[in-house]
């Protein structure tokens, strides 16, 4: 078997794209989207009709409302292809607004349910800020499942699990980028700081019995992916899915609950003050969280301009 087929024996493979065709080819279980991926998709000729159709169908509405409709339109198309769940992101500009995030999540779920999609098939993506985590805590109690994104540190992961989040998406590649730039070292294999971060989070969750799912994200190469074989889920770009599908060779399971229970990690308790201090003490996580929010905000603005031009 190729590496992709072997990986699927240990880990739920998720497509990190807004490209329907890639999903049909690689047959992932779940799919994730974000403003950047949707912006990239709607600029391709094959997806332009979906954009134009959505704008026409909701002419006269505010741009923000049309974009919500567009996100759900993409989600519905994706759910017609995959058997599992789609992740739809809230507006990154709400990253420090708990009430605003809750309201946006309610609206997105209402759009899905009005279209006949059960909320169990949707994950609402929220930035792993303190405010975002508090929003997830409320939403999960209402049966709205959350995917906590822009996650770069164990304190963020712990707070998400304590809040009862369905799933977290630690960003392997962006952690790697930061350490490579800071140290000048091209990390590889088990020495990769991004890989080590996810290994630590996975081990912590399994050791202390948290049910929150761990989905490694933001990969730069297939080595990072294979080092996390056995993680609950891995969300992978079409380019890297293609490389895995084309490559032969044994894939070894690297993460397992049994292995995690043997680690010497200690349980950590975090209130808001402790969370903010721990995050502040981690320069990489602080910088990457802020940068990630800025980038998603910028792409949200670009998507708004694109929609406004068609309106």
Phi then psi for residue 166, to 5 deg, are: -65, -40
Nearest CA to 104 out of 95, 115, 116, 91 is that of: 91
Mean pLDDT calculated for residue range 128-145: 98
Centre a 10 Å sphere on the Cβ of residue 145 and count the other Cβ atoms it contains. Answer: 23
pLDDT band for position 247 (cuts 50, 70, 90): very high
Residue with tokens 């700081």: 193
pTM value?
0.95
Count the domains in the chain.
1
Mean pLDDT calculated for residue range 147-151: 98
Checking if the pLDDT of 28 tops 90, the result is yes
Residues in CB range of 218: below 8 A, 6 or more apart: 169, 171, 172, 173, 174, 194
In percent, the amount of the chain with pLDDT more than 70 equals: 100
Say how far apart CA 78 and CA 85 lie, in whole Å.
9
Contacts 24+ apart (CB under 8 A), 41-50: 41/17, 41/74, 42/18, 42/70, 42/303, 42/306, 43/306, 44/19, 46/21, 47/18, 50/74, 50/77
Question: What pLDDT score was predicted for residue 191?
Answer: 97
**DSSP secondary structure, 136-162, as one string:** HHHHHHTT--EEEEEE-SHHHHHHHHH
> Mind listing the pLDDT tens digit for each residue in 262-304?
888 999 999 999 999 999 999 999 999 999 999 999 999 999 9
Mean pLDDT calculated for residue range 106-119: 98
Say how far apart CA 15 and CA 30 lie, in whole Å.
6
Question: What pLDDT score was predicted for residue 35?
Answer: 79
Give the domain extent around 296: 3-310
Q: Which residues are catalytic?
A: 125
Question: What pLDDT score was predicted for residue 226?
Answer: 98
Say how far apart CA 272 and CA 160 lie, in whole Å.
12
CATH of residue 236's domain is 3.20.20.70
């Amino acid at each position: 078997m190729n590496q992709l087929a072997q990986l699927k024996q240990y880990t739920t493979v998720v497509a990190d794209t807004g490209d329907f065709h890639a999903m049909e080819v690689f047959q992932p279980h779940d799919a994730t989207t974000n403003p950047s991926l949707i912006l990239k998709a709607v600029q391709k000729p094959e997806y332009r009709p979906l954009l134009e159709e959505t704008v026409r169908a909701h002419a006269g509405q505010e741009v923000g409302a049309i974009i919500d409709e567009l996100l759900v339109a993409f989600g519905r198309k994706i759910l017609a292809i995959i058997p599992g769940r789609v992740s739809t992101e809230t507006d990154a500009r709400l990253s420090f607004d708990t009430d605003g995030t809750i309201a946006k999540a309610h609206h997105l779920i209402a759009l899905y349910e009005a279209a006949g999609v059960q909320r169990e098939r949707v994950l609402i993506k929220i930035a792993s800020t303190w405010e975002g985590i508090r929003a997830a805590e409320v939403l999960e109690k209402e049966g709205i499942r959350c995917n906590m994104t822009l996650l770069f540190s164990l304190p963020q992961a712990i707070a998400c699990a304590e809040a009862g989040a369905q799933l977290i998406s630690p960003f392997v590649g962006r952690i790697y980028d930061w350490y490579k730039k800071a140290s000048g070292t091209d990390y590889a294999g088990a020495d990769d700081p991004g890989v080590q971060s996810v290994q630590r989070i996975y081990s912590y969750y399994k050791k202390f019995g948290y049910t929150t799912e761990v989905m490694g994200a933001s990969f730069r190469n297939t080595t990072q992916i294979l080092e996390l074989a056995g993680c609950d889920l891995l969300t992978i770009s079409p380019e890297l899915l293609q490389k895995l599908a084309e490559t032969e060779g044994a894939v070894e399971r690297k993460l397992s609950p049994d292995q995690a229970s043997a680690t010497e990690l200690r349980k950590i308790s975090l209130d808001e003050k402790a969370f903010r201090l721990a995050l502040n003490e981690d320069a990489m996580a602080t910088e990457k969280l802020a940068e990630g929010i800025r980038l998603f905000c910028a792409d949200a603005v670009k998507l708004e301009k694109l929609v406004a031009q068609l309106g």
